[in-house]
């Protein structure tokens, strides 16, 4: 490729804030829950590049012809690959695309076709827009995609904070991840957190049924806590992990959890996961997947007697979408009280409010 902006390139990032900024110097957009990607086009050559600079073309073959039809002959755009199922975003379906078998990817591309939502512009023709203010880039992007048809989309945008607040409340049920605020005068700065993001956050009491050792510390530092919730049938389901501890806290946790390791596996609800003959089709706290990239995911069982309060943003199916954040131990709560019933149910919001013309 011979463009003003060539791959590989890291995208511009956002830092998390507690609330939407005030003032009239921001443009707000929905935060999409998909695969962040840059699209480079130079004639017939197209590259869909992930946020960690890996090619994604083979995983989303159904997008290539649509991108050729919708985009200028030479350009670089920033956006998100998403999959819409039953009027909401489906991140699980996106992950299934990362499959080594081309035949499987082809089948999935027909069964659950993807869409591309664009929200920034880096260059068109010989003009490099990275040094231009976002307001200019947005206007040019709107012009470029004025005739785009599904599965190519331009993300909604508004300068009205009240509208953005409404998006934050309503569109969560459609699987969106929050709201992004971009400075009108901001330039495009690769790999720098210059945008702002506001995400949902809720509290939940979980059973701590195990943990993983940190990669450093030679089994003296806790890496993450394995969290569980009881379902309607009384089974303890693994719903995610709690991490992001300081080194001091990791060492303290290792000592604190030591008594709960004694005889932990005897009647552990996840005992079959520790057995090599267990059902590996189930979600195992220590199970390898093609996304774990060889990381050591072995785990240490704990007697399921501890309850922790964590913060999470939203659920993906029956588990936390992202890593939960430690809040405090809840000695006043019984493990049996940690059920799915405590979770807030978000009313669905049809994506037709955002995708009026379909996927």
Candidate list 31, 85, 199, 333, residue with the active-site label: 31
Is the separation of the CB atoms in 106 and 98 below 8 Å? Answer: no
DSSP string, 105-154: HHHHHHHS-EEEEEEEEEEETTEE-TTS-HHHHHHHHHHHTTT--TTEEE
Q: What pLDDT is recorded for position 278?
A: 41
Q: What pLDDT is recorded for position 275?
A: 62
Q: What pLDDT is recorded for position 131?
A: 98
**What's the pLDDT tens digit per position in 322-359?**
889 999 999 888 999 999 988 876 666 666 666 665 56
In this structure, the number of other CB atoms found within 10 A of the CB of residue 333 comes to: 16
Q: Domain coordinates of the chain in residue numbers?
A: 13-199, 202-275+287-342
Q: What pLDDT is recorded for position 354?
A: 65
Q: What pLDDT is recorded for position 279?
A: 39
**What's the pLDDT tens digit per position in 3-42?**
999 999 999 999 989 899 998 999 999 999 899 999 999 9
39's tokens: 């699209």
In CATH, the architecture of 13-199 is 2-Layer Sandwich (3.30)
Quick check: do 13-199 and 202-275+287-342 share a fold? no
Q: What pLDDT is recorded for position 342?
A: 86
Active site residue 31: yes
Q: What pLDDT is recorded for position 32?
A: 93
| Class of the CATH-defined domain 202-275+287-342 | mainly beta
Is the separation of the CB atoms in 229 and 320 below 8 Å? Answer: no
The HSE-up count of residue 27 (CA atoms within 13 Å, CB side) is: 19
pTM above 0.85, yes or no: no
222's tokens: 């806790």
Q: Which residues of the chain have pLDDT under 50?
A: 276-283, 286-294, 296
**What's the pLDDT tens digit per position in 194-212?**
999 998 778 899 999 999 9
CA neighbor of 17 nearest in space, from 241, 246, 184, 194: 194
Q: What pLDDT is recorded for position 292?
A: 43
In this structure, the number of other CB atoms found within 10 A of the CB of residue 287 comes to: 16
């Amino acid at each position: 490729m011979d463009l003003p902006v060539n791959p590989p390139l890291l995208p511009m990032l956002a830092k998390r804030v507690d609330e939407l900024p005030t003032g009239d110097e921001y443009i707000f957009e929905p935060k999409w829950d998909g695969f962040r990607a840059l699209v480079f086009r130079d004639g017939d050559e197209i590259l869909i590049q992930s946020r960690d600079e890996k090619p994604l073309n083979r995983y989303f073959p159904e997008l290539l012809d649509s991108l050729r039809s919708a985009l200028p002959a030479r350009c670089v755009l920033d956006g998100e690959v998403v999959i819409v199922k039953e009027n909401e975003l489906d991140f699980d379906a996106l992950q299934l695309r990362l499959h080594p078998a081309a035949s499987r990817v082809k089948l999935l591309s027909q069964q659950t076709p993807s869409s591309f939502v664009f929200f920034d512009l880096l260059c068109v023709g010989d003009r490099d827009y990275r040094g231009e203010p976002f307001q200019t880039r947005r206007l040019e992007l709107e012009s470029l995609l004025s005739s785009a048809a599904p599965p190519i989309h331009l993300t909604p945008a508004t300068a009205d904070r009240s509208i953005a607040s409404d998006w934050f409340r309503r569109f969560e049920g459609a699987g969106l991840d929050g709201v992004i605020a971009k400075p009108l005068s901001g330039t495009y700065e690769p790999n720098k957190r210059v945008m702002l993001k506001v995400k949902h956050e809720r509290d939940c009491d979980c059973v701590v049924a195990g943990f993983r050792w940190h990669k450093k510390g030679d089994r003296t530092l806790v890496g993450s806590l394995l969290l569980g919730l009881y379902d309607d049938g009384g089974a303890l389901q693994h719903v995610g992990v709690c991490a992001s501890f300081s080194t001091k806290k990791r060492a303290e946790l290792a000592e604190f959890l030591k008594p709960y390791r004694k005889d932990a596996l005897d009647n552990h609800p996840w005992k079959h996961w520790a057995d090599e003959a267990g059902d590996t089709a189930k979600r195992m706290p220590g199970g390898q997947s093609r996304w774990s990239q060889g990381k050591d995911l072995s785990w240490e069982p704990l007697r399921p007697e501890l309850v922790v309060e964590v913060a999470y943003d939203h659920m993906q199916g029956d588990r936390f979408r992202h890593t939960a954040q430690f809040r405090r131990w809840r000695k006043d709560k019984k493990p049996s009280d940690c059920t799915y019933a405590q979770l807030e149910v978000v009313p669905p919001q049809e994506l037709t409010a955002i995708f009026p013309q379909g996927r």
